Structure 1
Amino acid sequence: LLFILICLLLFGCDYRKDLENSEILPSEAFFAINNWSAQRAYPYGYVNDKKFLDEFIKVKNSIQSARLSSPNNTWETMGPHNRGGRTLCVATNPQNSNTIFAGSASGGLWRSYKKGDPYSWERIVTGYPVSGVNSIAISPTDSNIIIIGTGEVYSYQGSNIGISVRTNRGSFGIGILKSTDGGNTWTKTLNWQYSEQHGVQIIKLNPLNPNTVWAGTSIGTYKSTDGGDSWNIVDSTFMVTDIEINPLDTNKVLIACGNLNSPGNGVYKTNDGGNTWQQVNGIPNPVIGKIHLCQAPSNSNIIYASVGDGLSTANQSTNNTYLCKSTDAGDSWTVVNNFDYAKYQGWFSHDVAVHPQNPDAIICAGVNIYQSDDGGQTLTAIGQDHGDHHYISYNNNDVNQLYNGNDGGICKYSVTEFSHPGISTSWNTANMSAGIMFDVSAANNINITGFGLNLNSGQKTIYIYYKNGTHIGFENDSLAWTFLDSMSVTSNGTGVPTYINLSSALSCTQSQTYSFFISNNDWPDFNYIAGNATGSLQASDPNISIYEGVGRRAKYFNSQIFQNRKFSGVIVYNVGGVTPYSDTTYNYTYYN
């Protein structure tokens, strides 16, 4: 008997050792959490979402009743009021530009009656367990009617809170909620449970008939013909991330589909209100990330698409972003810029927005935020309060205001419009040097009378040299250059021109090339734009062209040279005494 007991003991120890070596046992916390859950799920073994919602509403009603019966039991917020979280969408009341709504990733729906000013936000109680709000649609004819889409889903195979896999971050939704009294009360019109693991990504109202509403979800495209009270699925392509409706013919609708390698990714179009769909040509495919669309309000034929194709933080050379453009209402597309602004967040955070009055003026953003005044061909960084941008939209009633939802909350931009005398380039406020050399060529006989310089604020002394012909090969040859002028100025600061007038205009002959070296006594102070190749065309109009040049470390000809830098500013000129004006440009100043 003793021999048998010893054998059993030795066998049991060896078995446990083999078990420990062959599998990874869960932590004791795992069993503790399972036990905690099992007690609350009994007798089903899982938490029934339908019963949970019923109990949630029951408790909510009982609490509301208790508050009404005990008016002294009041609550007030303690804060903090100076920190936002990830914000997924922003919408302006179309009938009152002061009222702004915001959808958060985990805090539900919010509202400001003061254009989003600090300390003006309040959380809207919907009466439902809403966590993420990914879209907000407000009726253009009756702003009491608000429809929201719930959930923040990035992968059609699952999106979980708290999981360590970063590509699964987000939350599931409970469907679509509608209010007809400005957000005081809500009704669930698309009834989902959390266990169904779906999300509503975008909601758009027909601009000619608000009774027709479209919803893009993680499981397909839905359509309502009764103002969002009931829904029917009209396309089953997964992961619908955006929708654009043609305002001239609302039977024509575009949907952007796909994320994290979901099947069928691309942009699709219907010409018959959703009965049939066709994938459009020109959008890069396949891509790993998601796609966002924006139609130019002033020209419905022009539509932009921000296409994310990035995921990796370890090998960022594998990431790509494509800014695409259509000029035929979405039938065909071309890539206008492949600068990787979304980077590794191509699946998570990027967007594009078009100025309400200018189809060539756009904002696109991903990890950082950029502007373009030439239809996306040139992207220039602008200031920001936080990275990882999810949503960009203009104030419906104020073209001078832009809202940006990012991982830090909501950032509001003041938009200033400029039309400069002569020719203007893009503006940059991030890169600085002591001076810049660049070439211009005259298509007609012109007189250059001054410059608008992009300088840091303060008192400056500006020095200007010029030469006939290109600067290339003569960067350090001071004898080849002619002193043109110098003057003291007080700069207006970066992003806006500080104009200087030449003592005598420089006459430039048709078909000839001239070069300039502009510097100052304050280093580094000249704001420039990063270029691609010295000597390549940067900007042009019918009378003059500007070419990429080089930067100088100091105002001296023998100072260090930096290749591939673009002039940021204005060249003021006239033709026969008449000064033309450049295309409109914009300056974006943020405050949060």
Structure 2
Amino acid sequence: MHAKLFRWSPLLLLIVFTSYACRTDPPKQSGAGKAMDYWSMLRSYPDGRIYSSHLSRAYEIWSGQIGLRNEPEWRSLGPKNVGGRTLCLAFHPTDKNIIYAGSASGGLWVSHTTGKGADAWQRLRTGFPVMAVSSIAVNPHRPDEIFIGTGEVYNYRAARPGVDDRFNRGSYGMGILRSSDGGRTWKPSLDWRNTELRGVWKIIFNPLRSSTLLAATTEGIFRSRDNGNSWQQISSRRMATDIEMHPVDTNVIYVSHGGYRSLETGVYRSMDGGQHFELLDQLPTSFTGKTAISLVPSEPDWVYLSIADDLKSIGLFRSIDRGQNWTLLNTNDVAQWQGWYAHDVAVDPKNPNRLIYVGIDAWRSNNGGHDLKQLSYWQHWQFGKTAVGSPEGPAQYVHADIHAVYYHPADANQVFVATDGGIFASTDGGTSWQSRNGGYQTQQFYADFASATRDSNLAVGGLQDNSTVIYDGEAAWSRRIGGDGMNAAIDPENHQLIYGSLQNLQVLRSIDRGKTFRRMVIGSSASEIRNFNSPFVLDPADPTRIYAGAQHLYISEDQGITWNVSTDQDGENSILRIAVAPSDAGLIYLSTNSVDGSQSPGVFKLSEGRASTWQRMQGLPEQICTDLVFHPNNEEEVYVLFGGYNNPHVFHSRDNGQSWQSIDNNLPDLPTHTLFIDPEHPQHLYVGNDMGVFFSENGGKYWQWISRELAEAVMVMDLSYSPSNRKLRVATHGLGAYELALDGIKITPSSDPGPILTLSPPFPNPTSGSFSIKWQSDEKGELTFQVIDVPGRILETHQISFQAGEKTEADFDLSARANGVYWIVVEDSARIRRWTFRVLKTK
């Protein structure tokens, strides 16, 4: 019996089952903040830094490898009936049916039906690893010209985990991109690809001169006077979150600064087109949240502000004289615990006293903000399955955490909001609402995602801010439980038994295939340290046995009726991941981390014969372990994965943890979250990281990126196996769920991938004529280089031999070529890689 392996507490914990319904009481602290904290923790430990440049460099290298044979086909599973976190919207200036949406980690989307219908939204590929789109600006005079700002960053300070705050970052950014053809192709405008995590919160056009743009960013205010070809910083004050320009006198600019407990806060005004900015000291100047600015189309000198502390609104303010004097209109706590995160105000284009004021819910005023009427109630969201493109609740339902509100520029009766549950709209000025999420697949899954063993039409997973959802073979998923969905499991022998969870190890069980759930109370101490996404797993040898991790390891032998608790395994640290050996051998691995970042994380093993001793694994990085996986046929073989940067991410032991070897080889240096071993071909490994899915057919000697057709980059949180149809399910943090047929995957012509080749992209790029490419291989060989112009003509061909282990560099001279864009194509026996580069000679 497994119970003999543990030194149990004298206390036998009896689990309490309670019926569970949608949460209606407000949280006592920001759930979004805890989610950001968790996201940041996995990536920034131990130095507190998030290296966005690693993602950009990885994409640049891997996107050049165009020689995939038999590119795998991905099938979307959905959900397509509910949306994910959305930061902003934008409207086409001449076609009232076209709207754009910026998702939190699923990129840029467009609808040609204002979001109506079952297939209303399409994702726009940019050709760059764009995840968070925080701002969209469409040129009012040339609507095919679109700018997007990227990166979700709520605090400029890059604090080390556990020191000060951490939930200041939400997703990767790379500056500003521009499209001149309606979103078909893109290029960098303000290029931040080689920086640490930064964000662009607002981009606006000068209303009288559309070649001039302004951007509010984490680094300050930037201006372009040449249509985005170049940018100049005009203010270095950090954490600019909103910016507006007077529609008639464009010398007048309003800027707000401040995010989550930022050091520099306040609302500033420039009267000279951005040469100087003055603090408007009639307003609050020291607040811990953010401020939203709204101009009034019918009264150009009027300005409304929504100002908030981190956990409550400060108030709604108005000036009717270009910011000279201000009136506090209302102190209603609209933002509540999301004052640092989600609130906004918009004014009716025709009536300066009619406005929509949003935070957790939406409110309306008809008398200039003095009185407010509540329009929406987030608690009214509908559980169960809703059809794709249909309402997700009654007419007063809008998802909580409203980031932005807009009056449609062509119809003031239409109001749109961007929320943590996607897009919602009203056609009667806010009186009634309907979701506009048909096909808007932007959900953010966490680990673990569960697929049934015998039914390919059953899977379950947890979503950030959007509950636990159940897949039954259709694009419309069923929403169950509530709040933040976390880990999930399905009993492999009895598919009526489904487990789901909320944050901090709130585990629930269903005995009717997910129709109803009852809560299981695990642990008796409210002060016990628990991770935001605390784990639980079913024993693969006996699914009636459940393991759950908090500060202690808990075990139930009766499907959660009663629980026992083990001795501490790592002091004050909390358990993050658990793995149980496939057979009943009493072999368990777990990883721990310090929730506040004050102690080192660890990987531990408990095995038979060491009944009360957890053995810390040696020879692994001091980074947070994100996954633990046993070989399906050999329990001596274990794989361990890690987050963070600047260290290997995938380790393999063949001797039950006595020694470890990195098998990263050519994997990108990115946080890595999940590993799957094909049970029918154990040499076939799949890993999911912050760029996508990578596959090795030789046990990790060589990896190939196989998710390029899914997205340029997507955070893959879990890989789940569906044995009945031999499909690999991919749970992403930003694009919902996909699946891939395992049979027939073949990346290279044979099982031999060829030499391991490390190849750097052309440098410098752009070039005035000369550039070089460096590489190194573990075997000798030959590379073929071709320079190709845009029409496809081969201009030059070079063949260069190299020796094993030799660092080789090839120099190219294109000074005789005209300025423009070219391709460099590099090919060996197994791969083809391609890069774009630009020749830009100065006169």
TM over 0.5: yes
Note if 1:372 corresponds to 2:365: yes
Q: Which residue of 2 aligns with 1:116?
A: 115
Listed one character per residue, the Cα deviations across residues 97-125 of structure 1 (whole Å, up to 9, x for unaligned) are 10010001111111101111143111111
CA distance in 1, matches of 2:104, 2:160: 12
> Deviation of residue 238 (structure 1)?
1.1
For 1:308, the equivalent position in structure 2 comes to 308
What does 1:89-168 correspond to in 2, within 5 Å?
89-118=88-117, 119-158=119-158, 167-168=167-168
State whether residues 159 and 166 of structure 2, in contact with CA within 8 Å, keep that contact through their aligned partners in structure 1.
no
Residues 429-462 of structure 1 show CA distances to partners (whole Å, capped at 9, x for unaligned) of: 9xxxxxxxxxxxxxxxxxxxxxxxxxxxxxxxxx
Match of 2:62 among 59, 63, 78: 59
CA displacement 1:388-425 (0-9 Å, x = unmatched): 110001222222211100111110111259xxxxxxxx
Structure 2 distance, partners of 1:270, 1:358, is: 26
Q: What's the CA shift for 1:286? A: 1.2
Deviation string for 1:231-260 (max 9, x for gaps)?
A: 111011111111110111112111011123
Q: 2:77 and 2:363 mapped to 1: Cα distance?
A: 36
After TM superposition, give the deviation of residue 229 of structure 1 in Å: 1.7
SS in 1 for 2:60: helix
Is 1:248 paired with 2:261? no
After superposition, residues 358-507 of structure 1 pair within 5 angstroms as 358-383=351-376, 384-416=397-429
* Equivalent residue, structure 2, for 1:355: 348
The change in CA–CA distance for 1:381 and 1:160 in structure 2 (over 3 A counts) is: farther
- The secondary structure found in structure 1 opposite 2:62 is helix
Taking the aligned partners of 1:271 and 1:412, their CA distance within structure 2 comes to 36
CA 1:225–1:341 in 2, change beyond 3 Å: closer, same or farther?
same
- 8 Å CA contact 2:55–2:129 kept in 1: the answer is no
Distance of aligned partners of 1:149 and 1:276 in 2 relative to their CA distance in 1, 3 Å threshold = same
Out of 320, 327, 330, the residue aligned to residue 337 of structure 1 is 330
CA 1:194–1:105: 2 relative to 1, 3 Å: farther
- Work out whether 1:326 is the aligned partner of 2:327: no
Provide the residue aligned with 1:503 in structure 2: none
Q: Which residue of 2 aligns with 1:483?
A: none
Structure 1 residues 160 and 184: CA distance shift in structure 2, 3 A: farther
Q: How far off its partner does 1:159 sit?
A: 8.7
Instruction: Give SS of 2:360's match.
Output: coil
Distance (whole Å) between structure 1 residues aligned to residue 173 and residue 400 of structure 2: 25
Structure 1 position 75, deviation (Å): 5.6
CA separation of 1:189 and 1:380: change in aligned 2, threshold 3 A: same
Q: For residues 247-282 of structure 1, give each alpha carbon's deviation from its aligned partner in whole angstroms, at most 9, with x where no partner exists.
A: 111121110111233233111111111111111132
Structure 1 residues 228 and 160, CA gap change in structure 2 (3 angstroms): farther
Instruction: Give the structure with the higher percent helix.
Output: 1
Where do 4+ consecutive residues of structure 1 move more than 4 Å?
46-52, 72-76, 163-166
Q: Which residue in the other structure is 2:205 paired with? A: 205
Letter in 1 for 2:280: V
After TM superposition, the score normalised by the length of structure 2 is: 0.41
SS in 1 for 2:209: coil
Percent identity between the aligned chains?
A: 39
Letter in 1 for 2:302: I
Aligned match of 1:476 = none
Root mean square deviation of aligned Cα: 3.0
**Counterparts of 1:165 and 1:81 in 2: how far apart (Å)?**
35
Does structure 2 retain, via aligned residues, the 8 Å contact 1:111–1:121? yes
1:167 deviates by 3.2
Q: 1:134 to 1:47 in 2, by over 3 A?
A: closer
User: How far apart in 2 are the matches of 1:170 and 1:117?
Assistant: 28
> Is the Cα–Cα contact under 8 Å of residues 93 and 396 in structure 1 kept in the other structure?
no
Q: Say which structure, 1 or 2, has more relative contact order (CA 8 Å, 6+ apart).
A: 2
CA offset at residue 51 of structure 1? Answer: 6.8
Amino acid at match of 2:406: S
Check whether the contact 2:239–2:264 (CA below 8 A) recurs between aligned residues. no
- Hey, what's the Cα distance between the residues in 1 that align with 2:289 and 2:53? 33
Q: Deviations over 1:142-197 (max 9, x none)?
A: 11100000011111113999x99773351242101000000011111111137522
**Helix, strand or coil at the partner of 1:190:** strand
Evaluate the alpha carbon distance shift between residue 50 and residue 407 of structure 1 in structure 2; reply closer, same or farther with a 3 A threshold: closer
Q: Which residue of 2 aligns with 1:513?
A: none
Measured in 2, the distance between the counterparts of 1:76 and 1:120 equals: 18
Deviations 1:9-34 (A, max 9, x none): xxxxxxxxxxxxxxxxxxxxxxxx99
Contact kept in structure 2, 1:160 and 1:168, CA below 8 Å: no
> Is the 8 Å Cα contact of residues 304 and 319 (structure 2) preserved in structure 1?
yes
8 Å CA contact retained: 1:386, 1:408: yes
Give 1:552-571 correspondences, 5 Å limit. none
Cα distance in 1 for residues equivalent to 2:284 and 2:54: 45
Give secondary structure in 2 for the equivalent of 1:344: helix
Judge conservation of contact 1:126–1:186 (CA < 8 Å) in 2.
yes
Distance 1:164 1:245 in 2: 35
Whole-angstrom CA distance in 2 between matches of 1:106 and 1:254: 28
Distance, in Å, in 2 between the alignment partners of 1:294 and 1:240 is 15
Q: 1:268 to 1:81 in 2, by over 3 A?
A: same
SS of aligned partner of 1:390: strand
2:439 corresponds to which residue?
none
- What is the CA–CA distance in structure 1 between the aligned matches of 2:335 and 2:194, rounded to whole Å? 30
CA distance in 2, matches of 1:401, 1:320: 26
Distance 1:166 1:342, change over 3 A: farther
Q: Look at both structures and tell me which one has the larger radius of gyration over its CA atoms.
A: 1
* Structure 2 residues not aligned, in runs of 5+: 1-41, 377-396, 434-843
1:566 is matched with none
* Aligned-partner residue type, residue 391 of structure 1: A
TM-score, length basis structure 1: 0.58
Counterpart Cα distance in 1 of 2:54 and 2:168: 26
Q: Give me the whole-angstrom Cα distance separating, in 2, the residues matched to 1:147 and 1:58.
A: 25
Q: Distance in 2 between matches of 1:220 and 1:164?
A: 22
| In structure 2, distance between residues paired with 1:349 and 1:49 | 24
Q: Cα gap change, 1:52/1:412 in structure 2, threshold over 3 Å: closer, same or farther?
A: closer
Going from structure 1 to structure 2, the CA distance change for 1:133 and 1:160 (only over 3 Å counts) comes to farther
Distance in 2 separating the partners of 1:47 and 1:354: 37
